Amino acid sequence: MTDVLVVAELHEGSNRKTTLSAITFAAQVASGTGGAFDILAIGEGSGAAAEQLAGFGARKILKTEIAGGFFAEAYAATVAKAAEGYGVIAATASSYGKDLLTRVAAKLEAGTAPDISAVSTEGGELVYTRPMYAGNVIGKMKVLTDVQVVTVRQTEFAAASAAGGSSPIEDFAAVTDPIAERIELLGLETVESERPDLAEAEVVVAGGRALKSAENFENVLEPLADALGAAVGASRAACDAGYVAADLQIGQTGKVVAPKLYVAIGISGAIQHLAGMKGSKVIVAINKDKEAPIAQVADYFLAQDLFEAIPQMTSEIKKIKAAG
């Protein structure tokens, strides 16, 4: 019997959808071992966030209000204290989960299973599956310590849906940590977008260096994304060149996506990029160079100049959508 504590990810007083993937994992472990799961909502707006999570089947929800934005040092001591009595502490492997849970694990002297893609129970023990070597090897591992800390890959654990019921909510007192006094969070710049979140989108349109400028991203690629109802992503080269914000980078460095449709535009497909998108269901590559490595993972490949192909594709897609 293993009880799981899910650490919710809050942003601006609300849960990020990442939280729901960690709940799916926790429910799997709890049902596989005959245990239960609880959720810790920690941060600014924890009360409202806890309310949002009350219908997901948790035994109880703990809430801790901590003002100011997130940095791991401000939360880790509280999470470590809340972790007492649980066998598994879990969050999604977003930058939040990686920052925070790894520190929590160190405080608890617990082993970590990072960025896992699956969990199973073998002989009463939890076995974690995780991609390694930019997704070119799949490893299976166990955590040997009494407490196990786990971060889960969002694309591999579907978002939990509310099952009804109403988990009781309890206050949990914050614990201060002297390390936190050495960090001052001065601000967070976010790029607001009407488009779907990259990690959750069903369609992703991603551009590479061949787009040549931020203006071309906006005027050539984004209309296609909007016609498809897609999120916009980018290769490292496009982010480094400043064509789009760094948080749109897809790959081993950056976000991992697995949409139903991935359209790679002017992306050659370095191994580090493939690591972030080769789990997509259908991959389309549009690239002048037929020999580009993206061809190794593409289902459909159009060898054409993107500045001709993309506006034409945008209008073809609009026609289909209009025909409904």
Partner 1 sequence: MKILVPIKRVADPDNANKLKVSADGAQVTSEGLEWKMNPFDEWSLETALRLTENAATKKREGEVVVVTIGPKDATVTIRQGLAMGAERGILVEGSDDQLDANQVASILAALVAKESPDLVLMGKQVVDGDSNVVPQTLAEKLGWPTANYTQSLETGDEGKTLSIRREQDTGVATLKITGPAVLTCADRILLPQAVKNGITPADFEYPKAEGGRYASLKGIMAAKRKPIEETSAAALGVEAGPSVSYVGFELPPARSGNTQFVESVEELVQKLHSDAKVV
Interface of this chain with partner 1, residues 150 to 179, rule: CB under 8 A:
178-179
71-110 positions binding partner 1, by CB under 8 A: 71-73, 76, 94-96, 98-99, 102-103, 105-107, 109-110
26 versus 150: smaller Cβ distance to partner 1: 150
Q: Based on the shown chain and the rule CB under 8 A, indicate whether residue 291 belongs to the binding site for partner 1.
A: no
Q: Residue 62 contacts by C-beta under 8 Å, 6 or more apart in sequence? A: 38, 39, 40, 41, 50, 82, 169, 170, 171, 172
| Min separation Cβ 93 and partner 1, Å | 8
- Cβ atoms of 22 and 91 within 8 Å: the answer is yes
126 versus 169: smaller Cβ distance to partner 1: 126
Per the structure block, which two tokens stand in for 195?
């488009």
221-280 positions binding partner 1, by CB under 8 A: 228, 236, 239-240, 245-247, 249, 252-253, 255, 260-261, 270-272, 278
Q: What separation in angstroms does the CA of 162 have from each of 54, 151, 153, 159, 209?
A: 8, 21, 20, 10, 41
Rg (CA), the chain: 21
In the DSSP assignment, the letter for residue 8 is -
Q: Based on the shown chain and the rule CB under 8 A, indicate whether residue 199 belongs to the binding site for partner 1.
A: yes
What is the Cα–Cα distance from 124 to 142, expressed in whole angstroms? 12
Per the structure block, which two tokens stand in for 252?
């081993």
53 versus 256: smaller Cβ distance to partner 1: 256
20-49 positions binding partner 1, by CB under 8 A: none
H or E element at residue 236? helix 236-240
Q: Based on the shown chain and the rule CB under 8 A, indicate whether residue 54 belongs to the binding site for partner 1.
A: no
Q: Based on the shown chain and the rule CB under 8 A, indicate whether residue 200 belongs to the binding site for partner 1.
A: no
Which of 294, 112, 123, 122 is CA-nearest to residue 206? 294
Binding-site size, partner 1 (CB under 8 A): 94
Choose, by CB under 8 A, the member of 158, 162, 185, 214 that binds partner 1. 185
Choose, by CB under 8 A, the member of 66, 118, 134, 159 that binds partner 1. 134
The C-alpha angle with vertex 307 and arms to 304 and 311, in degrees rounded to 5, equals 100
Choose, by CB under 8 A, the member of 43, 114, 223, 266 that binds partner 1. 114
